[in-house]
Structures are given as C-alpha cells and as structure tokens.
Amino acid sequence: MINSTAIYRNGIALLVGASLLACSKKNQTVEMGNETVKPPTEVGIPASVGFFMDDWAPRQFMAPAYVPTTAPILGSTITVTADYSETISRVNPSIFGTNTNLYIGQMVDQPVLLNHLQALSPGIIRFPGGNLSSIYFWNANNGQMPMDVPATLYDTGGNPTQAFYWYGKNTDSWTLSLANYYQMLQQTNTKGMITINYGYARYGLSDDPVAAAAHLAAEWVRHDDGRTSYWEIGNESSGPWQAGFKIDVNDNKDGQPEIINGTVYGQHFKVYADSMRKAAIEVGATIKIGAQLMHYDAANSWNVPDRTWNEEYFAAAGDEADYYIIHDYYTPLGANTGAADILQSAVSGTRSMMQWMHTSTQRAGVAMKPIALTEWNIGAEGSRQMVSHIAGMHATMVLGEFIKHNYGMAARWGIANGYANGNDHGMFSLGDEGDGTAKWTPRPAFYYMYYFQKYVGDRMFATTVSGSDEVLAYAAGFSSDDASMVLVNIGTEAKVTSVDIKNFKPGSRYYYYSLVGGEGGTFSRQVLINRQGPEGLSGGPTNYDSVKALSAPLNGVIKLELPPRSVVYLMVDGA
C-alpha cells in the first residue's frame, strides 16, 4: 500500500493516500498501485418508492463562485469515510415537496413568494391543505353551500358547532382559488398533489353520501384533465379534529357508524377510487390514488380508531390503493421539546416509520406500495422552535433520512401559516410577527432545504462516521462524476472532521457552505450562511442564491471545522 502523506495547500489540511489516487468512475474497475478502484454500483427502485422516482434525472454539478479559505490546523479525531462506488439509493426528487393551503392569499400575485418557490424547486405542492380538505368543495362559488351538507359539524371535543365550508371558486384576496392554485403550479414549475374531500362521504345528507362524494371527486378528475397525477382520499380521517370523524347518525341515510373506523374508510376508498379511475380514463389521464394509514403501531393509542386502523383498512380495501399516505410531526405536539431531542427525532422517527410500513403491510399480507409522507414538520412549541435554525437542521437530516430509507414522496407542512409567537409551521413569514419582518421572509428551514436540494446530487452512497456520535453525514454523487456531502454537527461544540472519499477520482477543488444559527440563543430565528446573515431579526441573507462558497485546492482528504449545531454542504470536483 502507498503510504499516506500529510500536506497543506493554502492552509487546508489534506491527506494524500492510495485510497484517493486517480480512478475511473466509468463502468470498469481500475487498478491504482496496490488498490482496486470500483465503479459506482447501480440499484433498483424499491417498492416503497415506486413511480415517485419517475421524475429522477441525472444531475450535473456546476461549481459555484467562491472565495479562498483556510482550514483548521488542529488535529482531527473524527473521520467521515464515504465509498463513491457503493450506491445505496438514488436521490428521489419527490421528497422535496411542500404544502399550500387556503388562507395565505391567491399567491399568483406575490412575485417575492413565487421567486422563492422557484429557487426552492420543491417539485410537488399539495393542496388544498390538510384539515380544510374535509370541508372543501372545489367547484362551488363563494358562499354557495351544497344542499346536502349539514349546518353543523362536530368539533374536536365531539360537540356540534356551526359548519364553515370552503369554496374552490372563491376569488377573495385572502384565500386561494383552485384556478390560481393551478396557475401557481405553472409559475413555479411544480406538480400538484390534490387531497380529496373524504369528510363529505361521512357527513353528507343525501341518500347515498359516499356515492355523492365519490362523484364530486370524479368530477374534479375530469376538470383537472390530466394536470395532476397524485391524488389522496382524505386527510387524517381517523382524528377527532377532522370533519367526518363523528357524524349525527340521525341525519345519516346509509347506516354509517357515529365514529369513523378503518373498515368504513377502506370500503369508501374503493368507491372513490373506482369513480376517479373511470373519470381519468374518460379524459385520457393517468392518476395515482393514495390511502391513509397510521405511521406507527397505534395499538395503545388514546384515539380508539387509530388502534386498528391499518388492519381494518387492509381487510376492507386490500391492494386497492396505488400508494400509502402517512403524516408525522416528529416531536410531541405542543410540548416544549429541547433542541437535542428535536434533532435526534429526525433519525429515529424516519427510520421507525418506514419499519412500521413494512411490518404493517406484511402483517396484512399485501404488497408494499410507495410511501408518501404528505405532511411533516416538528410539533415542538413554546420556545419558537418551529421558526428556528434548529428546525432547519432537523429538515436537513430528515431529507437525508428520506433518501436513505427509500421514501416515495414527502411534503413539508407548509408554505405559510401564521406566526403565533413562533409556533408556526410556515416556511415563509406572513409579516405578522410585529417586529418589522417583511411578508414572505423565508424562515431558516427554507435555506437549509434550498442548499440540500441544490447540491445533494442524484444518488446517495455509503458513509460511516468514526470518532463521534454527534456528526452525521449524507454523501451523494453527481452524474458529472462529482461528489457532495451534507455534514451535520448536532453537538454544542465545534468538531474538526476529516472526510475521505474512496473509489473517487478527485478533481481540482472542493467547495462548501456552512449554515449556523445567528442571534437569539438555542432557537435562533436567524441562519448565517458562510457568516452572512439577514438584514432583519429573522431568516437569512437575501442574496442566498449568490452567496459565494468557501473553496480550496483538493489533493486528498478534506479537513473541516463543523461549528456547534451546524450543517455544512460540501461539494467535491471530480476529475
């Protein structure tokens, strides 16, 4: 074996050794000294990803503008070792999705927001929003309540309350019409995912409310005319906060139970799917229809329908769905969860959900289908966690884990909501903080997701980390024969880390962006990108798309300092 030699170039610590000597990344094995260099392996598309990978395409790395930098001179006790030849998954473009809703305005007349969304390139934007989908009538004019819906619905506590329905043809400035949703998708070059009103099948007053609701859904498919491929039947229908969870059996005319269960949902799902698929054939469209499942083993859940939802659904509907829908907010809703627990949940939660999907389908004797996490975020409240850079770090880790564990699709909740003293899942501000923050100012999570999406490459390859359990690494390759890596330091102290990429032919330079929190303590509302921060109290630099990378010549293993609670996006030229 060739001996490794430590050298310095422009102050950057490099290690030159046999594992990093020139090698081919084409379809051949190359001998380098006493080392054998292997080409990248090809991997299939898992059933949990399926057709959501259809939009995958090779990606080419474009080197960013840069400024020279220096590396730490301190020794490193942490090593990230990556093997460019060992592909573990393709990078699925469908995991970068987001959600919009009906109460943030018409969007198409908001160029600042549209420019941010174009830069983010989420790929898929879900509509019309979570809970509101259960009371949404896509083809109704404002205030024209359908004749067969009740004047009252049940609230989360099971008490009757005045119903408030939403209408697809409402053009008021404060809401989002269906027509403008479609236009917004065109303006941002994204695809849609539509959540059908399932609650109507439960609370509808007609003789056959399921048929009426399924017909309304099929009419939407006809109106859509092939613009939307992905449809889901209902939103969190097993939860008492959802319209249709509880109905007045005295008003119901087809013998439904007062409280929803998985069997009822499964039976209704088949009716919806049959009507919608027939409509799609009529207009020459290809659609995929998703069914709701519980994302964890809910056998001991406080909510009775959740306990047996999956097995009851499968017994009633079998393989009828094209894909399976889950939601998760990772940390307990409403709890003042600390930063360490928030960050740890990204790994444990993402892994356990996919494990449960495999277990649940195997127990039911049905085939695995693509898994779509159509809502995700953190549930932590009380310390402005949701609008902090910690939420951005969490988002970065979740995206890496999605790829690693082969999720089919994911959509973060959501584009905007409302500040609520920092308990806000919105990626962008509505300008309601009361501290001068401008409307559509991006929250920290936006910046972390922007850099991940831009520089992650098109296939993930294997990595190991030695010397610390507080450093995580997600390595990816570009089809242009370049490499990238996302390095996350979840610890509260800086860490000097070496990166060794095996079976890789290095080029001339490497580049990186370092993202850390700014002022404001543990849950800072600011993010600094290579030390550049926002002009105001929250967000990041306004010129995030032109911030220069830090860069140095490349001759071996890269040595970097990872600041406390930071994410470093690293790109490495290939020869």
CA 212 to each of CA 201, 282, 532: distance values in angstroms, whole numbers, following the listed order:
7, 19, 55
Answer yes or no: same fold for 5-92+459-574 and 93-455: no
Strand partners, 78: 497
DSSP state of 389: H
Domain boundaries, the chain: 5-92+459-574, 93-455
The whole-angstrom separation of Cα 165 and Cα 163 is: 6
396 within 8 A of 452, measured Cβ to Cβ: yes
- CB-based burial, 192-215: b 16+ in 10 Å, e otherwise: bbbbbbbbbbbbbebeebbbbbbb
What number does CATH give the domain 93-455?
Answer: 3.20.20.80
| pLDDT at position 25 | 38
| Residue recorded with tokens 């439904």 | 256
How confident is the model at residue 26, as a pLDDT? 41
Angle at 301 between CA 295 and CA 302, to 5 degrees: 135
Q: Report the topology of domain 5-92+459-574.
A: Immunoglobulin-like (2.60.40)
DSSP symbol at 496? E
Q: In this predicted model, what pLDDT tens digit does every residue of 269-300 receive, in sequence order? A: 999 999 999 999 999 999 999 999 999 999 99
pLDDT score for 442: 98
Provide the β-strand partners of residue 185.
none
pTM here is 0.93
Cα-Cα-Cα-Cα torsion 55, 61, 65, 67, nearest 10 degrees, comes to: 130
In sign, the C-alpha dihedral spanning 269, 270, 275, 276 is positive
Residue 314, SS3 per DSSP: helix
What residue ranges of the chain have pLDDT lower than 70?
1-35, 71-73, 556
